[in-house]
Structure 1
Amino acid sequence: MDTPSDTATSPASFRPPAPSPRQKPPSTLAMMRIVYRNPLELWGEPSYNEPWISITGGIGGPLLIANDPGLIRHVLVDNAKNYKMARVRQKILRPILRDGLLTAEGEVWRRSRKAMAPVFTPRHIAGFAGPMLRQAKAFAARYEDRIGGVTDVSRDMTMLTFDILAETLFSGEIAGDPDSFAHQVDRLFETMGRVDPLDLLGAPDWLPRITRILGRNSLAFFRDIVARTMEMRKEKLAREAAAPEDFLTLLLRAEGAEGLSRQEIEDNIITFIGAGHETTARALGWTFYCLANLPQERAEIEAEIDAVLAGEPDPVKWLDLMPRARAAFEEAMRLYPPAPSINREAMADDSFADLEIPRGTQVLVMPWTVHRHRKLWDDPEAYRPSRFHPENREKIGRFQYLPFGAGPRVCIGASFAMQEAMIAMAVLMSRYRFELLPETRPWPVQKLTTQPQGGLPMRVERR
């Protein structure tokens, strides 16, 4: 556990914006409005203080909010076979991702995970470092004509991480225009990425959801990109051209009776194109925003980056050589977890300690509240990268910090994301600073990821 002595030497701290815990539960109607608008604003004082909250008479049946690290381990690891993806989560994501890795279950999930695993081995991820560095440098060069100008850092990080994902996993062969892509990502998460009130009420699927109606065009845009991307690569493979052995080729070679269906391949491609880079983008944006509020911390990280870049040209090694930069990024993911909720449903009666978990219970593991829980963290609302400095890391329990989830369904791209983030931070922070403006007033909103409402308008300055 993070204790006061762990962080007493921190030179300063900053409390970035977040909803205040509710002092009393909202009415049912108010709760539905909040969940649609921004679920992060729903949670009350008990969610930040109690090990768990068990609700038996809520909408949709029994509900368990799990904050205790032991209980979280029980649900996500020790007895994971008893817990499937929760109904409400699937109703949000399946219309977008269908049988992609984030939403597939059972044998379909196992086949997809097995097919993708070779791409995310340490050897392959190390091989991505060079392309990541090239894309980060090319993206950074765009700022040269914008020094002193204003840019939306949140949108910029979406573009950067998309460029990196396209180059590494798809060898730069994704159909479509990247600028249109960024706009459609925002649109998709603004519409279909929300909880629809009808899903909370358990309404039948044939009733139209306004969120899905509004998101149809964006979803069709992504499906068209996927279809064209697959056809481009298939034509190259059919010509026996020197097609790259990347993520896309690996999936296409897995098509067949013993592997993946064409539909499953499409679903996994759209999962990675539509969401695979978004979590890293959000975490980078929040990191730059938080560091802009702590100039001393930022200056120390800049000095660390300068020293590493001056002495170590191999970007594979940067993650281990930049503990301060890594800590800043990890602390941003603590306060603004890219995936703020993990949802499960008990398939059979279960128990933990003196807690009974009936079959059908919806279990919410909320990194948003776990990462801000007052029994797990000292001064939890403060941004203090020193929590993650090497001398303090071992004091943080495995199941009190869940930026990439845990258990069998832990994020397959976690190592990829960490390497990508350190390379991006090193390149950008060695050249520029992102400074605050009066209009830099982000508000965290949950739309699949934890996004800054209104973006992150900041001024670009050369160091």
Structure 2
Amino acid sequence: MVHRNIGALQGDGAFEPPAPVPRARPLGKLELIRTALRNPLELWGEEAHRLPHIETMFLTQRTLIINDPGLIRHVLVDNVANYEMSEVRRLILRPILRDGLLTAEGPIWKRSRKAVAPVFTPRHARGFAQQMRTVSEAFAARYEHAAASGGMVEIAGDMADLTYEILAETLFSGEIAADTKAFTDNVERLLHRMGRVDPLDLLLAPPWVPRLTRIGGARLLTNFRAIVAETMARRRRLIAEQPEAAPQDFLTLLLGLERADGLSADEIADNILTFIGAGHETTARALAWTLYLVAHAPDWRMKMEGEIDRVIADGTDPVDWLERMPHVRAAFEEAMRLYPPAPSINRAAIEEDRWIAPSGEELVIAKGVSVLVMPWTLHRHELYWEEPRRFRPERFMPEQRERLHRFQYLPFGAGPRICIGATFALQEAMIALGCLMRRFRFDVTPQTKPWPVQRLTTQPRGGMPMRVSRRLSPA
């Protein structure tokens, strides 16, 4: 049985951050296309936030939106073999990532997943903690000048830079053939061009039909692939000329798998692009939303600051910050609830399927039906959350979090295709927040007016300008 996550959720005044209000009426076809092109998060109506599942016609495609945690488990785990990536999702993602881990299917996906899994085991990921702290501390020092005068910083862009630098250092030993700022700016431009729904995608037009909304995206993608090719070439030369000097990192691991029974050169390039292009983006967005949300919750922010001060003052190894900072973790997880980095999981039924609800109700899922698991609606669903639109991080404190159904909260997906870097991302976020909030406070100003839009990730339209100031020395 699924229970609302209640208990500690009491009192008034919790912040309700900006988000589209669920629609009270269906959209006409033309309005639907315009809204999907502008911002898919604005498509969803009241029923999607109130009912366990709804079936609708999305233009020419029969679509089932599922929120019931038991039904989600059925689709993503119990009968996962019957569900493939939906055609719309393929049309958006495959031109960018091709056969990277996020988009590959069948034998290619299995080979890639098996190949990269050793790097992202919890034990191995914990080994990156000190590198994450070193990069985060150096990044935090850049705010000293702005903080001295209470200056403005662009948090959304800065968090993209920070997570890119962490990923570049931990997985690629700082040897990606690209400048940080130029790279992250181009990622944002690429997602704006290539990571959005085009009307022809909704009409399931074949991929060779040009998408006018993606004009300019091909050039950016060519630049990214050139960066990947140069990064691979540099490491290959190092391995050939000075094998003892080659770092034993993610890049070397992938290149070592280039063989007939491993990965092809193209598959390696696709996976590198997936990790350096998209791997940092999801954590960056969640970090920016976290800083924005806690700026509206000063009492909770003070708890986070006190926790951070104690843990760092104690000399706790950063590998243990994730477990020693429950208030910081709760704020980050609540930010991912309200603004899930990946707001939709798109599948399609290969064959007819049936699911029996605990009530005895039978749901028939016809062959070819598009199935949407929507963290955006699931995380704001009235059946499963108390005050779903409000920022209440206490729901993720240990004594409350255990009440959640496993498939009620999906910031990293679920099942065989769960995000392989989930442990890496959580550890990275705790260390980054600890290093930043130890030294600074980030506050909203009249110019801080983010609006969530879906461009593969949940991004803040208008950016995230915030005022940075030095914190008083902890007592």
Q: Does TM-score exceed 0.5, indicating one fold?
A: yes
Whole-angstrom distance in 2 between the partners of 1:319 and 1:12: 28
Aligned to 1:235: 237
In the alignment, which of 268, 275, 278 is matched to residue 275 of structure 1? 278
Say if 1:10 and 1:240 are closer, same or farther in 2 by CA, change over 3 A: farther
CA RMSD of aligned residues (A): 1.1
Name which of 375, 382, 396 aligns with 2:390: 382
**Cross-structure match for 2:162:** 160
Distance in 2 (alpha carbons) for counterparts of 1:201 and 1:232:
42
Residue in structure 1 matched with residue 359 of structure 2 by the alignment: none
Task: Name the SS for the 1:62 alignment partner.
Answer: strand
- Superposed CA deviations along residues 14-36 of structure 1, whole A, max 9, x for unmatched, are 10000001010111011011111
Native 8 Å contact 1:337 1:450 kept in 2: yes
Q: CA deviation at 1:11?
A: 7.5
Query: How far has the Cα of 1:151 moved from its partner?
Result: 0.7
Structure 1 segments (4+ residues) deviating >6 Å: none
Amino acid at match of 2:418: V
Aligned to 2:441: 433
**1:2 and 1:29, CA in 2 relative to 1: closer, same or farther beyond 3 A?**
same
The aligned amino acid for 2:64 is: L
What displacement does 1:5 show? 4.3
Q: Note the alpha carbon deviations across 1:35-67, whole angstroms, 9 max, x for none.
A: 111000000000000100112x44243210011
Q: What letter corresponds to residue 179 of structure 2 in structure 1? A: D
TM-score normalised by L of structure 2: 0.96
The 8 Å contact of residues 184 and 221 in structure 1, kept in 2 or not, is answered as: no
The residue identity in structure 2 corresponding to 1:317 is D
The code of the aligned residue for 1:460 comes to V
Contact residue 7 and residue 384 of structure 1 kept, 8 A: no
1:107 pairs with 2:110: no
What percent of counterpart residues are identical? 60
Per the alignment, residue 22 of structure 1 pairs with: 23
Per-residue deviation, 1:360: 0.6
**Pair 1:110–1:5, CA change in 2 (3 A):** closer
2:258 aligns with one of 255, 259, 262? 255
Q: 2:203 aligns with which of 201, 207, 215?
A: 201
- Corresponding position of 1:403: 411
Counterpart CA distance in 1 for 2:189 and 2:116 is: 28
Q: Deviations over 1:197-220 (max 9, x none)?
A: 001012232221123323112111
- Listed as ranges, the matches of 1:151-190 within 5 Å are 151-190=153-192
Matches of 2:76 and 2:315, distance apart in 1: 39
2:405 match: secondary structure: coil
Cα offset for 1:145?
A: 1.4
Indicate conservation of the 8 Å contact 2:340/2:411, yes or no: yes
3-state SS, counterpart of residue 142 of structure 2: helix
User: Alpha-carbon deviations, 1:274-323, whole Å to 9, x = none?
Assistant: 10011000000000000001111101110011011111331000100000
C-alpha distance in 1, partners of 2:114/2:204?
33
Unaligned runs of 5+ in 2: 357-361
Quick check: 1:2–1:378 contact (8 Å CA) kept in 2? no
Q: Is the 8 A contact 1:133 1:315 kept in 2?
A: yes
Q: Is residue 313 of structure 2 the alignment partner of residue 310 of structure 1?
A: yes
1:334 aligns with 2:337: yes
- Secondary structure of 1:309's counterpart equals helix
Q: Which amino acid aligns with 1:126?
A: R
Pick from 191, 202, 214: which aligns with 2:193? 191
- The answer for the alignment partner of 2:400 in structure 1 is 392
Amino acid at match of 1:52: H
Q: Distance in 2 between matches of 1:432 and 1:10?
A: 28
Provide the C-alpha distance between the structure 2 equivalents of 1:363 and 1:290, rounded to a whole number of angstroms: 31
Shift of 1:12: 4.7
Q: CA separation in 2, counterparts of 1:434 and 1:93?
A: 34
Which stretch of the first structure deviates more once superposed, 130-139 or 218-227?
218-227
Equivalent residue for 1:150?
152
Q: Tell me, what secondary structure is at the counterpart of 2:127?
A: helix
Aligned equivalents of 2:3, 2:285: Cα separation in 1: 25
Alignment length (residue pairs): 462
Q: Aligned partners of 2:367, 2:60: CA distance in 1, in Å? A: 13
Which of 313, 321, 325 is the matching residue for 1:322?
325
